[in-house]
Amino acid sequence: MAENRTRQAMIQTLGCQMNVYDSERMIAMLLEMGYTLTDSPWKADLVIVNTCAIREKAEQKVFSSVGRLCGIKRRRPGMRIAVAGCVAQQQAQKIADRFAGVNLILGTRVIHRLPAHIRALENGENRIVDVEMPDDRTAEPLGRDAETAIVPHGQNIQSGGVSRYVTIMRGCDNFCAYCVVPYVRGREASRPPERIVSEVKELVAAGAREVTLLGQNVNSYGKKEGLCSFAGLLERVSKVEGLERIRFVTSHPKDLSDELVAAFGAVDKLCNHIHLPLQSGANPVLKRMNRKYTRESYMERIEKLRSVRPDIAVTTDFIVGFPGERREDFEMTLDLLSKVEFDTLFAFAYSDRPQAPARRFDGKVDPAEKHARLRELLDCQEQITRRIYERLVGRTMNVLVEGVSKHGRNTEGADMQEPVEMSGRSPENRIVNFEVPPGAGMQASEALIGKIIPVVIDRACANSLKGKMPANGSAVRDTNKGGKIHAA
């Protein structure tokens, strides 16, 4: 590695929001060490692949990516490659055996050791494998408590820094039959509320207007440690001045309390959206999954949520083709899909995962049948989403502007009379692309980033909404109460 220039690092993040958050932590450490960021492996002195092991396809993507990087390293022998995250935790030996070019394998509970390991590599070490799973007494502090630096505005890996993630807890104690999380991220542990609030304040000072609180099961926040309830934490975070919106993921249905349901009516900054994974609409399958709720109790929770917030958007997860799932079980899933009318869903064909109990279950569903059911489920949901979105045409929504849309102009030299298309999200977490009045120009349009804008919806698309910003529209603070627009 050249010593007479600034060292450059690249982080490739695969997987969930927790991985995005962990990547931000690693970026903060690298910046403190004097690295700058690049998006090219051909320029990077250090490349970190932060991995996901939740599905077989995700793991295959990891190995494909690491293989390509090792090919680049053969032409750039000074480059160092690190693999972090859940696949590193779960498949450390396989990575070490398969990829001679990987210099560092870093587990999920020892991210705080990254700087020391990088220095060791720079001082001559060829390979370090650290996938220790410390107990709660010796584990790293949670969240950013280990290294207090916040990724500087403009250097973060989230769009514009407007919406940021904050981990409030790690690990999981639920041991669902299909899931590897307790094995790769450890047992459940929560951060003290004052440290969470402090981090939110720092993020808001750096430009954030929305935070998403992260945990494998946020509904059980603080129970083991005797801290405040999750609803109590939401109330504390909502008092942060300058913060406009609060979201959270993920909720386990069995732990969705009446107090948390009530928070959707009591906490002004809490967005009217909840992600509540269902996984299956059939009780026999839910029992084999070890989910600890029934379709009836799930529906009861949905009814409670909608009694408090009739306009709440509900999204969910499904696993299709779980071992033992019969056609009649799948029909029960389709039935519940139509009854609940989810806004959107994430659905996957079941795949065996190392360490997960379900890999030993009998009654495996034929792969062709699994994928046929998955397609049927997605087609059904596509029709539901379309109906929901079409009902929104003509309404005015408060949109937190995140940036220029994928199809928006990005050159100042273009015709200033052409409308600029910006993108953001409604309180229900719906993507809204909208036109800024002609003549505003790119600079004025980008000044909207981080503001909440009233947008009139004029078209429903498959996965998003399109609209226009009123010519005399102005930024407003969204109270999230029924979507009302308040004059600025």
Instruction: Check which CATH number belongs to the domain holding 31 and give it.
Output: 3.40.50.12160
Same-domain pairing of 92 and 163: no
User: CA 62: distance to chain centroid?
Assistant: 18
Distance of CA 155 to the CA centre of its chain: 19
> DSSP string spanning 282-328?
-HHHHHHHT----HHHHHHHHHHHHHH-TT-EEEEEEEES-TT--HH
- Domain residues for the domain of 362 are 143-387
Q: Is the pLDDT of residue 476 over 50?
A: no
pLDDT over 50 at 477, yes or no: no
Amino acid 420: pLDDT: 85
Average pLDDT, the chain: 89
Residues contacting 412, CB < 8 A, separation 6+? 441, 442, 443
CB proximity list for 309: less than 8 A, separation 6 or greater: 264, 265, 272
Is 1 part of a structural domain of the chain? no
Q: Does 383 share its domain with 400?
A: no
- For residue 163, tell me if it sits in a domain: yes
Residue 485 lies in a domain: no
Which residue has better confidence, 26 or 488?
26
Closest among 197, 207, 357, 333 to 277, alpha carbons compared: 333
**Residue 349 within a domain:** yes
pLDDT for 342 beyond 50:
yes
CA nearest to 91, candidates 180, 194, 221, 1: 180
Residues 83 and 29 in one domain: yes
Q: How far is CA 29 from CA 33, 148, 358, in A?
A: 6, 10, 38
- Do 165 and 101 fall within a single domain? no
Burial of 146 (0-12, 13-18, 19+ CB in 10 A): middle
The one-character DSSP state at 364 is P
pLDDT > 60? residue 370 = yes
Nearest to 305, CA basis, from 318, 320, 315: 315
Considering the domain architecture, whether residues 183 and 322 belong to the same structural domain is answered as yes
Q: Where are the beta strands (DSSP E) in 8-110?
A: 8-13, 36-37, 46-51, 80-85, 102-106
Q: Give me 19's structure tokens.
A: 């991985």
Flag whether pLDDT at 344 surpasses 60.
yes
pLDDT at 390 over 80: yes
371 within a domain of the structure (yes/no): yes
- Asked if pLDDT for residue 94 goes beyond 70, the answer is yes
pLDDT tens track for 32-66: 999 999 999 999 999 999 998 777 777 888 999 99
pLDDT in tens, 230-262: 999 999 999 999 999 999 999 999 999 999 999
Residue 221 lies inside a defined structural domain of this protein: yes
Of 130, 163, 188, the domain-final residue: 130
By CB atoms closer than 10 A (0-12, 13-18, 19+), residue 201 is middle
For residues 60 and 117, state if they share a domain: yes
Same domain, 181 and 73: no
12 inside domain: yes
pLDDT on residue 383 = 97
pLDDT of residue 139: 46
Alpha-carbon separation of residue 169 from 23, 89, 222, 352, 473 (angstroms): 16, 18, 8, 26, 40
Report residue 48 as tokens. 């970190």
Least confident interval from 233-237, 340-344, 386-390, 405-409: 405-409
Residue 179's CB is within 10 A of a number of other CB atoms, namely: 22
Looking at the fold, whether 116 and 177 belong to one and the same domain comes out as no
What is the pTM assigned to this prediction?
A: 0.84
Other C-beta atoms lying within 10 Å of the C-beta of residue 60? 11
For the record, the structure tokens of 28 come out as: 């903060």
Judge if 212 and 275 occupy the same domain. Answer: yes
Tell me: do 126 and 156 sit in the same domain.
no
Closest residue by Cα to residue 271 from 425, 421, 129: 425
- What are the tens digits of pLDDT across the range 410-467? 444 445 556 789 999 999 999 999 988 766 666 777 889 999 999 999 999 999 999 9
Same domain, 328 and 383: yes
- Residue ending a domain, among 387, 408, 434, is 387
Q: How many Cα atoms are found within 13 Å in the side-chain-facing hemisphere of 305?
A: 23
pLDDT digits (tens, 9 = 90+) for 115-173: 999 999 999 999 999 999 876 544 445 555 544 445 444 444 444 489 999 999 999 99
CB 106 within 8 A of CB 84: yes
- b vs e for 263-301, b when ≥16 Cβ sit within 10 Å of the residue's Cβ? bbeebebbbbbbbbbbbbbbbebbebbebebebeebeeb
Q: Domain tally for the chain?
A: 3
Domain identity same for 330 and 188: yes
For the chain, the maximum distance between any two Cα atoms, rounded to a whole number of angstroms, is 67
484 domain residue, yes or no: no
CATH number of 170's domain: 3.80.30.20
